[in-house]
Amino acid sequence: MSIHLSFQDNLFALKRLRLPTRYYHFRDEQNYIKLVSIGEGIFPKDRISTVVKLENSDLLLATESATKVYPSKKEFGINRIDIQLQASNLEYINDELILYKDAKFLQLLRIRADSESTFFYGDILSHGRSYEYFDFDTMAAKNSFYCDGRLEYLEKYTKSGENVKSYTQQSFNKHSLFAKIYVKTQDNEAFLERLEKECFTSFALSSNKEMLIGVISQNSMQA
């Protein structure tokens, strides 16, 4: 199941839509696409692919509803996202990820951007259904970011629900939402200083200072 969309000089083209998803495209000062899922979520063995290509374009891409991942005895549900930016700006805002009890989920994210491009990308993890508290089995990710063809930042992690529960217990704060954020601006160091002035102190520059990475919890989102 996949969706492939592109913009060239701010002109929209839908290359492929093989997902139980509707899309809405609005154009005012900035292109805005809203993806509305009409499916039930991600099941074991599901393979979801999203491809976004921008050339000399500006896009805000948002999901309308939370992504639900269903329980699995063995197989992972896999979500693959591939983004290519050339002289463009992308803001990709995901709604929360809800991992049901015993869910297994793998995300493969790759963003390739040139020096003229900027982006904001965020993932939000919730505690699960209302009567659950990080009861999922496994969440794994491989997120890679390239700037001008060079690997700038790579992260691989595997977390269990028990890992997350243990963290919240150690921090003496029962958070129910966590967000991981990745940002590339035209002046990353100045943007980092601005974040720190606003008391967002959990952001850091990548090794070559080409982007910023940060983690915030529910309390920070409400601040």
pLDDT at 223 over 50: no
| Mean per-residue pLDDT of the chain | 88
Q: Which of 20-24, 74-78, 166-170 has the lowest mean pLDDT?
A: 20-24
pLDDT at 83 over 80: yes
Taking residue 188's Cβ as centre, other Cβ atoms within 10 Å add up to 19
Backbone φ and ψ of 145, nearest 5°: -130, 130
Tally of domains in the chain = 1
Strand pairing of 58-63 and 31-37? parallel
Structural domain for 71, as ranges: 2-222
- Which residues lie closer than 8 Å to 45 by C-beta, 6 or more apart? 75, 77
Paired strand residues for 216: 179
Please tell me whether the overall predicted TM-score, pTM, comes out greater than 0.85 for this model.
yes
Check if the beta carbon of residue 153 is closer than 8 Å to that of residue 213: yes
- Which residues lie closer than 8 Å to 102 by C-beta, 6 or more apart? 71, 72, 73, 135, 136, 137
Query: What confidence tens digit (pLDDT) does each residue in 132-169 have?
Result: 888 999 999 999 999 999 999 999 999 998 988 887 77
Instruction: Give the pLDDT mean for 92-108.
Output: 94
Alpha-carbon distances of 27 from 11, 54, 63, rounded to whole Å: 10, 15, 17
Element (H, E) at 116: none
pLDDT at 19 over 90: no
Q: Which of 5-19, 116-130, 137-151 has the lowest mean pLDDT?
A: 5-19
pLDDT at 1 over 90: no
Place of tokens 């990710």: 141
Instruction: Give the pLDDT mean for 184-188.
Output: 97
Q: Which of 36-40, 57-61, 157-161, 192-196 has the lowest mean pLDDT?
A: 36-40
The rounded distance, in Å, linking the Cα atoms of 33 and 149 is 27
